[in-house]
Amino acid sequence: MGQVIGVPREHRPFEYRVGMLPKGVALLTEMGHQVYVETGAGLGSGFPDEEYEKAGARIVYSKDEAFRRADLLLKVQRPTEEEVSWMKEGQVVLAFMMMANMPNSRLRVLSEKQITTIAYELIEEDDGTLPVLQPLSAIGGRMAGQIAAHHLQNDKGGTGTFIGGIAGVPPADVAVVGAGVVGMNAAEAFLDMGARVFLLDIDLKKLQKAHKQFNGRVTTMVAYKFNLEKVCTFADVLVSAVQIPGQHAPQVITRQMVQLMHKGALIIDMSIDQGGSVETSRLTFHDQPTFEVDGVIHYCVPNVPGVVGRTATHAFLNAAWNYIELVAEEGIEAALAQLPALRRAVVSQHDFATI
């Protein structure tokens, strides 16, 4: 017997992704599942209600109906307090939970309702890769280049520096801290734009990999304190991309380091989803994305890929589909028994207490 699957509209500001594509809905309905999609759920990603209806979904028009009907909820962002109140006991929800910033009270309610929560960002294969998070990290890293180009403009409060430079005028100096997926993609984006890129990490093997991948065109440095201080003295842009999945990001850039940066320099804290890795960071949003501390512009918007909804939705669902299909077809208990990667992503009260 098929499951009842709910695809609600994401109601958080500046979130344009959706939890399932129309083509995915078609596959799920062909398997015998009933899919309820909240009206407008796919508009931010370019998918009108009609496409979902053609795929076999039923469109629902109240905010809570997709939640109340579902055995399995397919979301993007973690449920809000109101959304949790609509959820029924024993449901399964798949979403990016961003545990480091999740209120303990909300997790407690999920636990009390015996809701099984799978955090997409914590799905981890045996080799340590995070397959569902990875494509979004790549998008976020690549977007750092266009974010920096925009906010270095004079009309945005920047120094008027053109990242790629021009004949007779040197390019911008960009320091990227963290050589993970975000950092490597950010380094590649800035390199393609013509910047001089400095990549720092505490893991020498990652730096060796980066040196080989970029054919020595990126300057790699071990992220000792004195090296972090050094790049802060000259960087036009500093991208901090230090994260530990499911945990608060370590603050590797101190206020004293920020004070070494020149007026109008730009910090992009790509770790803000996990609490931020820059001491002077605080949460901002796309309508007011920046603020200044000691003359340095800070961009601290969480969920950067959320505003490229169409690309980001395709990217993460390409990676998530096999897990979604298994949970839908086999049920959550059988799916967890079969896949250690899924078991690692189950969110519980105990997990939160250890963060």
DSSP state of 79: P
- Sign of the C-alpha dihedral, residues 300, 313, 128, 189? negative
Residues 237 and 265 sit within 8 Å (Cβ to Cβ) = yes
pTM for this model (two decimals): 0.92
**How confident is the model at residue 347, as a pLDDT?**
87
**Phi/psi of residue 141, each to 5°?**
-60, -45
Query: What gap in Å lies between CA 27 and CA 252, rounded to an integer?
Result: 45
Query: What gap in Å lies between CA 252 and CA 262, rounded to an integer?
Result: 19
Q: What tokens appear for 63 in the block?
A: 């905010």
Coil vs helix vs strand at 103: coil
Q: What tokens appear for 273 in the block?
A: 């989803």
Give the up-direction half-sphere exposure of residue 165: CA atoms within 13 A in the CB hemisphere. 15
Splitting the chain (355 residues) into consecutive groups of 10 residues, what average pLDDT does each group show? Answer: 93 94 98 98 97 98 95 96 94 90 83 93 94 97 97 92 96 98 98 98 97 97 98 98 86 98 97 94 95 97 94 97 97 96 80 37
Q: What tokens appear for 77 in the block?
A: 């962002």
Question: Strand pairing partners for 196?
Answer: 173
**Phi/psi of residue 242, each to 5°?**
-105, 115
**How confident is the model at residue 348, as a pLDDT?**
64
Domains, in order of start, for the chain: 4-122+309-353 (3.40.50.720), 133-306 (3.40.50.720)
- CA angle 52-57-62, nearest 5°? 95
**How confident is the model at residue 308, as a pLDDT?**
96
- What's the longest Cα–Cα distance across the chain? 70
**How confident is the model at residue 225, as a pLDDT?**
98
**How confident is the model at residue 244, as a pLDDT?**
82
Query: What gap in Å lies between CA 217 and CA 221, rounded to an integer?
Result: 13
